[in-house]
Structure 1
């Protein structure tokens, strides 16, 4: 979708979106349009229950004497009818509401007026955030739909944002767009079918990011075996698809400066292995590479923004399937760290992948901070539902940074405890550590305690 910025009040064809606020919804730009359309807007408001409150909308087709083919009024007032001050997330939601209403309308051009939106941000950033919400809401994964009716297909090809200072708004958008590109790449990877996205093809997609300035290295099974990454390799040994470890590097900081490292779990399909998952909902296990998808999107965003830091992204890519060659409950594997792991449940496989990926990352790159991301335990959803992402860290300073980032981005996070008393739950009578705890207690915590043993 093409995104462009023009001066406020510019005449538009296609669909014109006007946020309205205040006690009188017929004011400002809406009032000017009413005058130009010989009272069409005021008559439509009078014939409806539209009061201009946040969340309301009024669509007017073929407004008289306007170049726009349809006019969409979006409420931007508070419950009492006063102007509501939008924060960043509400601005994105405003753009998303416009997309939801118009994406499949048949219009190819949508123009959104932003000058009268009251916001806690400056006008340029306000315009950019509204555009971001429209773009994110417009994303669809429909590449495999072959019989969708024409009227249900997206029609919008150009989004035009009208702002008082279009050059400043364009500059704000230019800074924001790389982050959105990273988000959309993560969505695309996570949504892809598992027979299309498996370790080798995921690695190939990552190699394409070289064109964006990232250094990319892919380790095959022979290379990982030579390094002793037997925990990761054990997870994928039941699949016909070979495992991979992909390394992405962005060198935007000072030479020799220690990087920030992002490590992602990339189980492109998780059947549970011999410890087979229930059949219901197993199709969703294509999402078990979500951590690797986030790391890949993050690295693309850093490159797109020309971030002034050194960063490395490491993703372990495997497919966990049952077969005659799959690992079994009771197997013992030796990790890259030299520690031995008793595999009591093959469906607790993500921590095996991360154990080797984390050790490899800290051993090779000596990062100043490591953040691993993973769809690691269903127990976390039991704890926090779908509103917060749980995280673990022994460092209060890191926790403060993550909490602040969660508030700034809207991706809410919640810190859970680490404590040595949990360690006894993963002590193995056979090996150095076992890959699950004892019973169902503290399932997410014991997974974190397991990973902690592979950091130094």
Structure 2
């Protein structure tokens, strides 16, 4: 399945099969010039009844070979509305089995808005079109060809512009999240990340031996029951000539989570292939920044492990010393993501001294109870960073909701045998106590935000901008954060 963009210097109206036109909420066409193809359409739009006006898309046969598809737009649509409109249009075309369309540059708002609008619209179509069919023997045969004036599509063809790099970064995230655990284990994941050096990222891989020497016992402990390796991978992008401190992103990469000795129930355990989604978002973001040559210095850090039950697996009751020097009592081996992030966060803060750190993880089921699949949970020690994330999320439709952190929650994770324990055994506030745990590993008061994306990383129904499966949630959010505030 693919969308193929075909730019052209001149459109031959007589050879167009499906002409796409835009109209206002009353189905009055925008300016279309004196072209012959529009004469009957103007009369057609005048005759549209009230029932038809409620629909977003209408088709009209121009002749036996040509069809006009009219798209209704609201006045002054936002970027997000343009994108969701494009996504809905893609679904319409697929259902109608329309394989080729042509956009007219004579019919898209004013000249100053053409590039912005059409690229937002096509961006939404591209987002919606992704499906993971890698392992299907019979793949979908639906492909869509989009013809358009070259001047309108120019931003899509320029790798420095944000649309094409964003699609590539988001789709890379979706692909990683969609891969089964027997394929994308930590060893394979680390190999794939090494390949990103080809696009200008500096990739450094720390294997189990190096991690042990560094004292990352919290991270290593999670993966010690697996035959696969455990890794910390850093991806650096130096896109700014200034020597300013970078912005940093940290991701949980548990490639498969059985729960370890604290074994999960069998039902729905297969979904734990996406317990590495936080890391995939960081990777997709870093790929996007490199492809669009972002004017920012950024670093991505991901901890890659597999949590398996084994004779060598971590046990409930074990005590480990983290990279920070703080000790952790492991009361439940299924609260493993916070252990991976604990070492990764301290390492990121100490090595890179960033302006801020945002970590992402499918960390708790409790956040789904709280927010469902509409908002990611946001926990932060910094009001400015929180506001920037919230604003960016609203603009791109990847919403976050700030949840509380407070020192009174600390008593729920204090341990009698170590500096802290990895779960709250008293009950309640599961997402907050997990975030409170992570906050202890920010040692130098660096502005920090934790995004719990457990309800957002994977969808079992179609969303506005994605089909069933991996959503890529977070890549557009963090790209917008950087775009609006740090470039």
Q: TM-score, normalised by structure 1?
A: 0.87
Q: Which residue does the alignment assign to 2:84?
A: 93
- Report the Cα distance in structure 1 between the residues aligned to 2:309 and 2:33, rounded to whole angstroms: 62
Q: Is 2:220 the counterpart of 1:233?
A: yes
Residues 208 and 220, structure 2, Cα contact 8 Å, conserved in 1: yes
Residue 106 of structure 1: how far off its partner (Å) = 5.6
Question: Shift in Å at residue 101 of structure 1?
Answer: 2.4
Q: Distance in 2 between matches of 1:45 and 1:265?
A: 56
Structure 2 residue aligned with 1:342: 329
Bigger shift: residues 205-214 or 401-410: 401-410
1:153 aligns with: 141
Distance (whole Å) between structure 2 residues aligned to residue 199 and residue 33 of structure 1: 60
Task: Look up the match of 2:125.
Answer: 134
Measure, in 1, the Cα distance between the counterparts of 2:36 and 2:228.
60
Report the secondary structure of 1:123's partner residue. Answer: helix
1:367 to partner: Cα distance: 1.4
1:51 corresponding residue in structure 2: 52
What SS does the aligned partner of 1:278 have? coil
CA distance in 1, matches of 2:155, 2:284: 26
Q: Distance in 2 between matches of 1:316 and 1:88?
A: 34
Distance across 1 between alignment mates of 2:217 and 2:151:
59
Tell me, in whole angstroms, the C-alpha distance in 2 between the residues paired with 1:200 and 1:26: 56
* Distance of aligned partners of 1:417 and 1:33 in 2 relative to their CA distance in 1, 3 Å threshold: farther
Q: Distance in 1 between matches of 2:94 and 2:189?
A: 30
Question: Post-superposition shift, 1:194?
Answer: 1.4
Aligned equivalent of 1:370: 357
Q: Deviations over 1:370-389 (max 9, x none)?
A: 11111111111111111111
Partner residue, 1:252: 239
Alignment of 1:60-209 (within 5 A): 60=60, 63-64=62-63, 68=66, 70-76=67-73, 84-103=75-94, 108-113=99-104, 116-117=107-108, 122-148=113-139, 152-156=140-144, 158-162=145-149, 167=154, 174-209=161-196
Task: Tell me how far apart the structure 1 counterparts of residues 280 and 152 of structure 2 sit (CA, whole Å).
Answer: 36
Partner Cα separation in structure 1 for residue 184 and residue 153 of structure 2:
40
* Structure 1, 276-285 or 339-348: larger mean CA deviation: 276-285
Structure-2 change in CA distance of 1:443 and 1:9 (3 Å): same
Aligned length: 440
Alpha-carbon separation, structure 2, partners of 1:385 and 1:431: 34
Superposition map of 1:274-313 within 5 A: 274-313=261-300
Q: Deviations over 1:45-100 (max 9, x none)?
A: 969876344x5323457x4165x4x44322325xxxxxx33111111122212221
User: Measured at CA, do residues 257 and 45 of structure 1 come closer, stay the same or move farther in structure 2, by a change above 3 Å?
Assistant: same
1:403 is displaced (CA, Å) by: 1.6
Q: CA deviation at 1:13?
A: 3.7
In structure 1, distance between residues paired with 2:351 and 2:30: 62
Measure how far apart 1:104 and its partner are.
7.0
Structure 2 CA distance, aligned partners of 1:397 and 1:24? 43
Paired residues of 1:76 and 1:117 also in contact (CA < 8 A): no
Aligned residue number for residue 80 of structure 1: none
The two structures have a TM-score, normalised by structure 2, of 0.82
In 2, are the aligned partners of 1:193 and 1:286 still within 8 Å (CA)?
yes
Kindly report the root-mean-square deviation, in angstroms, between the aligned alpha carbons of the 2 structures.
3.0
Structure 2: distance between partners of 1:411 and 1:375: 15
Name structure 2 gaps, 5 residues minimum: 444-487
The higher relative CO (CA closer than 8 Å, separation ≥ 6) is in 2
Task: For 1:33 and 1:383, locate their aligned partners in 2 and report how far apart those are by CA, in whole Å.
Answer: 57
Residues 170-195 of structure 1: CA distance to partner in whole angstroms, max 9, x if unpaired? 66993322122111111111111111
